[in-house]
Structure 1
């Protein structure tokens, strides 16, 4: 008997859900029947996600929400929950990369990577768990952060998009800050899984390898133009992942069929890259 995953009646919140891997995750959840909330920072994806919405007959809502702006993140959590409905699944996906020798990296560049890739997903997850517990997304003060007023058995799912860059030192590009941010993000998920299990929240992560997105199709000029060949050579299956493959796995991992007992796990999806 074929296995089918039905998200009808579920609401899924995806950061950076309008491009790259995030767009594939949006499409996969929409195909499964979910109502989707997408956030963006730079380019408004309304036209792109409308096509997906029309194709699958499900609503997709779009909010401007730069992840490093914690006040805006908390505002969107409360606003989207009121306008769309209570979110069942959160997918912190948005991230940025920077190929730069560490000796050439400025403080502002380092801050940008860490705030976007590490701090932003953590504060997003914190805000949602606080909201689900009836505490309000924003922490009041250090002395009075607030206390849970809602039910503890939330039955919520968080699936964070990390990277194999948090597992191995990538080459030939230099990206120390990116590697560190993703390693920290993966460990944050493991730590939060232990903290939030008592609330009925499971939190896992995926660590994709190289995916056929714009970075692969349009590498940086000069030396960077040769890097995709190196990445392909080091991937045993001799191809890059399609973004849709990542999206489908995220849907599976967040489903009631597979996620009720799995928490604190990082799933590597890399075509064998990290086997070397």
Structure 2
């Protein structure tokens, strides 16, 4: 059976889907015909959503949802499922970074990175899996109705794909970003762990770890030494260029297709132009 990238009739939920890599993922799914739900925290993406809707003739729904606010996340899961339909694919993409020496990092900055990059994707996935199983999205009791009896297998036929980073594999240089590195390493391992835990529910969960992508940060790097860093990153990438965000978006669509992800779970796909080969 050939792999199809036809997502007509499928509903995809993407956090941070209005900018950067998230926008590329949204665009790729829109091109494939999916109905899309995207969340945002600060900048309302209605302008780009309107453009994509007109270009690809698909339905895109937008919800304000700070990922670290678990109460709001659970509300959006329930609300979007009711207003749009039952979600088939979840893509926790939203993330934040901070270049700061650890000894200069405040507690609030550390909390912000960890809650956004690690805690939020885990609670989002937990909320969706509970919803799919007929449980309340929030954890009120381990005995909530809807959970299958111990040992019983079900086939929900759902896909989860988290956007991690090669920063969870290698210590990036020359920038200092220990919190970001740790959060992404944790996210990659969370996907592996949850893949084993949720396989019995017919859910596959994988992650991708992109290398340097030509988003706004690289196209317009910080002043001072930051402008020299971008050149170093490119030189340290064997293919001698940065990825275009569309390359990441298209790979996410491929990885979430019914045929390609029916047996693959717990895998982290590195897309880095060879950066981690050294």
Match of 2:147 in 1: 148
Within-5 A mapping of 1:77-156: 77-141=77-141, 144=143, 147-148=146-147, 152-156=154-158
Q: CA deviation at 1:50?
A: 1.3
- SS class of match (1:222): coil
Match of 1:39 in 2: 39
Match of 2:197 in 1: 195
- SS class of match (2:37): strand
Find the aligned partners of 1:131 and 1:137 in 2 and give their Cα distance.
5
Q: CA deviation at 1:4?
A: 4.0
Find the aligned partners of 1:3 and 1:191 in 2 and give their Cα distance.
27
Match of 1:70 in 2: 70
Find the aligned partners of 1:54 and 1:198 in 2 and give their Cα distance.
40
Find the aligned partners of 1:224 and 1:239 in 2 and give their Cα distance.
17
5+ residue gaps, structure 2, are none
Matched, 1:267 2:262: no
The Cα offsets for residues 184-210 of structure 1, whole Å up to 9 and x where unpaired, read as: 000000000000000000000000000
Match of 1:210 in 2: 212
The Cα offsets for residues 131-154 of structure 1, whole Å up to 9 and x where unpaired, read as: 00000211114x655551698210
Total equivalences in the alignment: 275
TM-score, normalised to structure 1, is 0.97
TM-score, normalised to structure 2, is 0.96
Q: CA deviation at 1:220?
A: 1.2
Could you say what the CA RMSD is over the residues aligned between the two structures, in angstroms?
1.5
Find the aligned partners of 1:104 and 1:217 in 2 and give their Cα distance.
27
- SS class of match (2:225): helix
Within-5 A mapping of 1:191-270: 191-270=193-272
Q: CA deviation at 1:257?
A: 1.9
Find the aligned partners of 1:176 and 1:147 in 2 and give their Cα distance.
40
Find the aligned partners of 2:148 and 2:33 in 1 and give their Cα distance.
31
5+ residue gaps, structure 1, are none
Match of 2:54 in 1: 54
CA contact (8 A) 1:140 1:146 kept: no
CA contact (8 A) 1:93 1:161 kept: yes
CA contact (8 A) 1:139 1:146 kept: no
CA contact (8 A) 1:135 1:149 kept: no
